[in-house]
Amino acid sequence: MDDALSEQPSTASPANAREFKKPPVLFEKTQEIVRQIEKTLGAAFIAYWTSPNGSVCQHDVVGLYEILEGFGDRDLVYMLIKSDGGDGQASLRMVHLLRQHTKRLVALIPLEAASAATMLALGADEIRMGPMAFLTAVDTSFRHDLSPINPENHPVSVNLDELSRVIRLWQKEAKTDGANPYQALFAHVHPLVIGGVDRSSSLSIMLCQEILSYHLSDNAQAERIARKLNEDYPSHSYPITIKEAARIGLKVAPLAHDLNKLLIELNELYSEMGQAAVTDVDELNQHNNEILNIIESRDVQVYYQNDKDWYYRKEERRWVAMNDKSGWRKTELVDGGVRSSIFHIR
């Protein structure tokens, strides 16, 4: 009986265990820098930031809509993009939304804008990059229910370039004429996964072309850039610096030193907000209370915050979420005061 009870998730709460860690919301400090950036630029500014544990996602579109509705249509909008990537289809939706509110969009990249964030940057008429900035390849990884399993018993992502390289190596090294590399590959990667990866790669190229079409009328050039970003780099995380970005045909320019410094300061505040806020209750239970995604402009900030318990099921070798109260929050200036509220997205 005691052994069975010990395997159940803990019901510990701050009252009977410990206070859960909470991330700081530094709205007043970030707003001060947002105002300095807008003064420097002389135009509207939006910050889009995700933590290493966050990602570009569909709900970001609604958060961005809330920001854009607040300042209406503008001739020119500057947008900070800092993210490790996520959902490329969400990037297309955000570019589509931005283009309904501004005639000209300039992306500001002080650090990484990787994968789906690179796709988002492709939607800008111009990309300005700091000395530490980089884009990446956008070749798509694909996670399927039938994907291979990692040591924690979760499906792993499969990349088309990796599969293609396996096939090429097999064909190059095979000693038997007519040997079929797929027969051996299917023992490790399900055929439906391979088909899904191929489809995802086609989708990625199409997304890039569609995003570029919002400001680039040369369809042949858009296709060339899209294929370059999807097919020509040996690593998904290969850093595309300003020199390489110009070489592949993107309109890029260096960030002014003072502006880059302000953007780095803003990133430091967001990084403090997005710090890990995990409370270990015991070896099988923990609570996550971490800010993942932040979108901000003058007078308003929306952000996504994890707020959930995690329980480790030893028999399944994986963590499962419980008591999930995660969601979007909104902080804004109203009548000279700061007001915080739940920002509902369904």
Distances (CA, A) of 36 to 39, 178, 262, 263: 5, 66, 8, 10
Return the bridge partners of 39, or none.
none
- Residues 115, 136 contacting (CB under 8 angstroms): yes
What is the DSSP pairing of strand 126-129 with strand 252-254?
Answer: parallel
The per-residue pLDDT for 11 is: 47
Rounded distance between C-alpha atoms, residue 194 and residue 197, angstroms: 5
For residue 167, which of 186, 140, 141, 148 has the smallest C-alpha distance? 186
CATH 3.90.226 in the chain, residue ranges: 2-137+233-343
The per-residue pLDDT for 182 is: 60
The per-residue pLDDT for 3 is: 42
The per-residue pLDDT for 7 is: 46
Backbone CA torsion sign across 225, 229, 231, 233: positive
3-state secondary structure of 286: strand
Q: Which two tokens stand for residue 259?
A: 């502006």
Q: How many CB atoms lie within 10 A of CB 145?
A: 8
- Binned average pLDDT, 10 residues per bin, the chain of 346 residues: 43 54 93 98 97 93 92 93 93 96 97 96 98 89 53 57 59 60 62 55 84 95 94 85 97 98 98 88 88 96 90 86 89 92 82
Alpha helices in 104-218 (DSSP H): 116-122, 160-173, 181-185, 191-212
Q: Which two tokens stand for residue 254?
A: 């260096």
In the CATH hierarchy, which fold is given to the domain comprising 2-137+233-343? 2-enoyl-CoA Hydratase; Chain A, domain 1 (3.90.226)
Q: What is the DSSP string of 145-161?
A: TTSPB-TTS-BPPEEHH
The per-residue pLDDT for 187 is: 62
Return the bridge partners of 108, or none.
80, 128
Rounded distance between C-alpha atoms, residue 273 and residue 156, angstroms: 29
Read off φ and ψ for residue 24, nearest 5 degrees.
Answer: -80, 145
pTM for the predicted model, two decimal places:
0.81
Rounded to 10 degrees, what is the CA torsion of 79, 85, 89, 90?
-50
The per-residue pLDDT for 331 is: 95
Query: For residue 334, what are the contacts with CB-CB under 8 A and spacing of at least 6?
Result: none
